[in-house]
C-alpha cells in the first residue's frame, strides 16, 4: 500500500513478510494501537491509530504550526515524505555520501511549514512512482521501454521467455546478475533531460524493450540498477517460466516511472538546496 494518499498501517502481513526476508523494508506512517481488551496480535479488538513520530518530531511539527499528526494522516506523513524527497536528491547523496554509506543519513528539516509541505509534496510523488506500478507518467514518455518484436520466428518460438543472459542461479538458490544483451544508439523524439543515448534491451531473440534511456538503465536504488536487477530474477533459467504479457509490459511501466524520477532530479536538488539554506533550529 502506498503512503501517498492512503495511511500506511503497520499490520501482521508486514511483520510476517519481514520475518521471512530478514530485512527492514517498511516505515509505517501510522501505527495501530490495540485496546487493552485485546487478547493478542491477531485479535479483532477495536484499534485506534497514532502517528509513527518521535517526541522531537512532534515538537518540530507543533513549532511549525502543523495539524496534530495523530488526527491528520497528511500531517503524519509530512516528515516521512520530506525525508524521501531529500533522500532522492543526487546533490544530497553526493554531499552526504559518508553518512549514507555508514547507514547514518542526516536529513535537514525545513524552517517553515510551507517549505516542509512543498518538500513533502515532492516526496509523495517519489513514493507514488516507487510504489504504484500504474502511476501516471507524461504522454511524451509513451515510447520509453516499449515492447517491440524484432524477429517473428524467434518471438513465436520463445514467447516471453527471458533468454538474454540477465541472470543465473549459483549454489542452487543464489541469483547472480549476467551481462545480458543491449544495443545502444542515439535517442530521438524523447525529452532532452533524459539524455542523448538509449538502449534496446533484449527480452530474448524475438523481443526487445526499445528506447530505454541510458539514464534510466543506469538508475540505481540501494546500489542496484533497478531494471537490470528485475530482469536478473526473471531470466528463464531462474524463474522457470515465461513472463506473462502484463509482466513483460511491467518493464515498460518501470522504465517510464524511472524516467519521471530522472526528470524530477533537478527539482529534488533545488528542494534540497532550499531546505539546506534555511534549516529549523531546535531550541536548547
Q: What is the pLDDT of residues 67-97, one digit of tens each?
A: 999 999 999 999 999 999 999 999 999 999 9
Task: Assess whether pLDDT exceeds 60 at residue 5.
Answer: no
What is the C-alpha radius of gyration for the chain, rounded to an integer number of angstroms?
A: 22
Q: Edge-to-edge strand order for the sheet containing 207-213? A: 146-149, 207-213, 197-202, 182-186
- Backbone φ/ψ region at 195: left (φ over 0), alpha (ψ -120 to 50), beta: left
Q: What sign does the dihedral 242-1-82-32 (CA atoms) show?
A: negative
Asked if 184 and 198 touch (Cβ cutoff 8 Å), the reply is: yes
Percent of the chain clearing pLDDT 90 (strictly above): 76
pLDDT band, residue 3 (cuts 50/70/90): very low
Residue with cell 545502444: 184
Q: What is the pLDDT of residue 222?
A: 83
Q: Measure the CA–CA gap between 11 and 173, rounded to whole angstroms.
A: 29
Instruction: Residue 149: name the closest of 204, 107, 105 by CA.
Output: 204
pLDDT band, residue 171 (cuts 50/70/90): confident
Q: Which residues of 234-254 are buried (b: 16+ CB within 10 A; e: fewer)?
A: bbbebeeebbeeeebbbbbbb
Q: What is the pLDDT of residue 32?
A: 83
pLDDT band, residue 1 (cuts 50/70/90): very low
Which three three-digit cell numbers place residue 218? 543506469
* Pairwise pLDDT comparison (119 vs 23), residue with the higher score: 119
* Pairwise pLDDT comparison (19 vs 175), residue with the higher score: 175
What average pLDDT does this structure show over 98-112?
91
Residue with cell 533484449: 202
pLDDT band, residue 147 (cuts 50/70/90): very high
Task: Assess whether pLDDT exceeds 80 at residue 254.
Answer: yes
Q: What is the pLDDT of residue 15?
A: 43
Instruction: Residue 32: name the closest of 17, 21, 24, 43 by CA.
Output: 43
DSSP bridge pairs for 186: 197
* Pairwise pLDDT comparison (69 vs 172), residue with the higher score: 69
When the pLDDT of each residue in the chain is averaged and rounded to a whole number, the result is 88
pLDDT band, residue 14 (cuts 50/70/90): very low
Task: Assess whether pLDDT exceeds 90 at residue 281.
Answer: no
Q: Measure the CA–CA gap between 139 and 143, rounded to whole angstroms.
A: 9
Domains of the chain, by residue range, sit at 12-131, 139-260
Task: Assess whether pLDDT exceeds 50 at residue 123.
Answer: yes
Q: Measure the CA–CA gap between 192 and 225, rounded to whole angstroms.
A: 22
Q: What sign does the dihedral 267-268-273-278 (CA atoms) show?
A: positive
What average pLDDT does this structure show over 226-234?
96
Amino acid at each position: 500500500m502506498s503512503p501517498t494518499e492512503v495511511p500506511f498501517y503497520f499490520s501482521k502481513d508486514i511483520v510476517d513478510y519481514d520475518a521471512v526476508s530478514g530485512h527492514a523494508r517498511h516505515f509505517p506512517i501510522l501505527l495501530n494501537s490495540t485496546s487493552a481488551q485485546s487478547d493478542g496480535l491477531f485479535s479483532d479488538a477495536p484499534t485506534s491509530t497514532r502517528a509513527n513520530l518521535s517526541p522531537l518530531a512532534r515538537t518540530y511539527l507543533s513549532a511549525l504550526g502543523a495539524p496534530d499528526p495523530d488526527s491528520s494522516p497528511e500531517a503524519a506523513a509530512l516528515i516521512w515524505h520530506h525525508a524521501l524527497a531529500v533522500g532522492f536528491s543526487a546533490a544530497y547523496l553526493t554531499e552526504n555520501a559518508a553518512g549514507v554509506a555508514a547507514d547514518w543519513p542526516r536529513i535537514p528539516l525545513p524552517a517553515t511549514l510551507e517549505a516542509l509541505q512543498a518538500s513533502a509534496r515532492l516526496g509523495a510523488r517519489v513514493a507514488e512512482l516507487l510504489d504504484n506500478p500504474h502511476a501516471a507518467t507524461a504522454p511524451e514518455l509513451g515510447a520509453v521501454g516499449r515492447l517491440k518484436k524484432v524477429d517473428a520466428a524467434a518471438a513465436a518460438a520463445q514467447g516471453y521467455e527471458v533468454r538474454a543472459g540477465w541472470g543465473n542461479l549459483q549454489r542452487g538458490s543464489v541469483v547472480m546478475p549476467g551481462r545480458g544483451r543491449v544495443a545502444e544508439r542515439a535517442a530521438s523524439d524523447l525529452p532532452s533531460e533524459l539524455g542523448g543515448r538509449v538502449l534496446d534491451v533484449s527480452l530474448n531473440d524475438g523481443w526487445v524493450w526499445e528506447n530505454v534511456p541510458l539514464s534510466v538503465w543506469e538508475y540505481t536504488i540501494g546500489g542496484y540498477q533497478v531494471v537490470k536487477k528485475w530482469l536478473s530474477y526473471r531470466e528463464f533459467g531462474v524463474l522457470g517460466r515465461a513472463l506473462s504479457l502484463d509482466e513483460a509490459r511491467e518493464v515498460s511501466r518501470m522504465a517510464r516511472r524511472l524516467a519521471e524520477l530522472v526528470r524530477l532530479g533537478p527539482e529534488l536538488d533545488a528542494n534540497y538546496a532550499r531546505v539546506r539554506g534555511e534549516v529549523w533550529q531546535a531550541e536548547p
